[in-house]
Amino acid sequence: MRKIKPVDEWVTIRENIRLTPRLLKVSFDFPKLAKIARPGQFLQMAIEDARDPFLRRPFTVYRVKRNTIEILYEVVGKGSRLLSEKKKGERLKIMGPLGNTFTMSLKKRIHVAVGGGVGIAPFIFLGQRMPVHYFLMGARSKEGLLPNAEFRGLTGKKIFATEDGSCGMKGFVTAALEKVIREVGDAGKLYLFVCGPKKMLEAVMEMAERFGIEGEASMDERMACGIGACLGCMVKTRDGYKTSCKDGTVFNFKDLLVD
């Protein structure tokens, strides 16, 4: 399916900054990758040359600006902590682009991106490449929400929801989705792009089924190889286990089997 040959090179960090107490952004110049990456695709990052941590870390492409690639991340473990300590001028090894892409050829649909926390990341890049009419973002509190400035240049309407009510609607991102459904009236016109924690994905997909909304989800499983060899990152589909890294990470709702 993918005919583009991925690349693997050392790059130099341009900027590594904290956007909120939870969300960070690292950027680097990688012209070859910037040219061929498509929304939904990810890259595999070696954070330390010494192979400690041993495996690479997968990150979705957050934004492409000419030759520069931006990655949105949060600190969840050793790899992301080491990444957060990296300074401008330090190096990372980046392999990509990997995985499939979001469907880009939808016509006459209202595109709704639903992101849970850092799961909003692929939709900024998606919004750069096609109209995204709504960005729905959920988080526990406002520290987990992407600052407004990060949506610069994107025209879609933003609706935020936080569990503690510290910003936007109080509750889950599904409350924001309900609001959109009411606003649009005809749920069948909507097309969802979803990425986030498993519980959120399940809640959104359950709602999509109830309202007859089509869409696709980016499935984030623990990965080792990133190229479909190790069979570690499997996703349950109607057609059996599929690799999240190579067959995905994007799967149509219709194909996913939710536990």
Partner 1 sequence: MKPDLSVKIKDITFRNPVTVASGTFGSEGEYQGWVDYEKLGAIVTKTVTRKPREGNPMPRIYETPAGMLNAIGLQNKGIEEFIEKKIPFFSKIRTPLIVNIAGESVEDYVCLAEKLSHLKEVSGVELNISCPNVKKGLEFCAQPGLAYEVVSEVRSVTPKLLITKVSPEAHDFLGVVEACVKAGTDAFTAINTIRGMAIDVEARRPRLANVFGGLSGPAIRPVALRYVYEIKRRFDVPVIAAGGICCTNDALEFIIAGAHMVAVGTANFVEPRATMEILSGIEKYLGERRLESIDEVRGTVKVDC
Q: Is 232 in the site for partner 1 (CB under 8 A)?
A: yes
Structure tokens at 40: 């939904």
Count of residues binding partner 1 (CB under 8 A)? 29
Which is nearest to 74 in space by CA: 120, 106, 30? 120
Which is nearest to 141 in space by CA: 161, 155, 111? 161
How many CA atoms within 13 Å lie on the side-chain side of 51?
Answer: 1
Q: Which of residues 123-162 bind partner 1 (CB under 8 A)?
A: none
Q: Residue 28: enclosing H or E segment and its boundaries? A: strand 23-29
Stretch that binds partner 1, among 61-69, 151-159, 170-178, 217-225 (CB under 8 A): 217-225
Q: Is 224 in the site for partner 1 (CB under 8 A)?
A: yes
Nearer to partner 1, 53 or 171 (CB): 53
Cis peptide before 21 (omega within 30 of 0): no
Of 46, 64, 121, 124, the one binding partner 1 (CB under 8 A) is 46
Structure tokens at 124: 């900024």
End-to-end CA distance of the chain: 28
Are 120 and 160 a contacting pair, CB within 8 Å?
Answer: no
Residue pointed to by tokens 């959920």? 138
> What is the pattern of x (binds partner 1, CB under 8 A) and - over residues 85-124?
----------x-----------------------------
d(CA 13, CA 201): 32
- Smallest distance, partner 1 to C-beta of residue 93, A: 9
Of 107, 222, 238, 239, the one binding partner 1 (CB under 8 A) is 222
Q: Is 225 in the site for partner 1 (CB under 8 A)?
A: yes
> What is the pattern of x (binds partner 1, CB under 8 A) and - over residues 157-196?
----------------------------------------
- Smallest distance, partner 1 to C-beta of residue 59, A: 15
d(CA 218, CA 100): 10
Binding site for partner 1 (CB under 8 A): 5-6, 8, 46, 51-56, 95, 221-234, 236, 240-241, 246
